[in-house]
Structure 1
């Protein structure tokens, strides 16, 4: 869920770009980085936690994901 959706503000193309970033991460790494048991727990992690990039990702892959 994009930040705009969590804050309940009108979203634009940035929400789509954020979703693309999550999709790329999922395709390259596997499990999503911000998981939890409850939706509120996941929302809090999206707002506060930094994304973990495993060492197996090349610098190029990390740069592509971060560029979004």
Structure 2
């Protein structure tokens, strides 16, 4: 039973985009690993940008510098 966990920042990802991520990731496991889509689980976690770090800084700080 495959379990895929996708972590993304919470920056306006739509329900349609999430549906596409779930369908596409499931299909990738079917195509590459021959996994059964009926038992493939996909979880999307949206992380607040204050809780995401990159380059040793909070992503929210880096993003604000670009505005």
TM-score range, shorter chain: 0.3 to 0.5
Write 1 or 2 for the structure with the bigger share of strand. Answer: 2
Normalising by structure 1, we get a TM-score of 0.33
Higher relative contact order (CA 8 A, sep 6+): 2
Choose 1 or 2 for highest CA Rg. Answer: 2
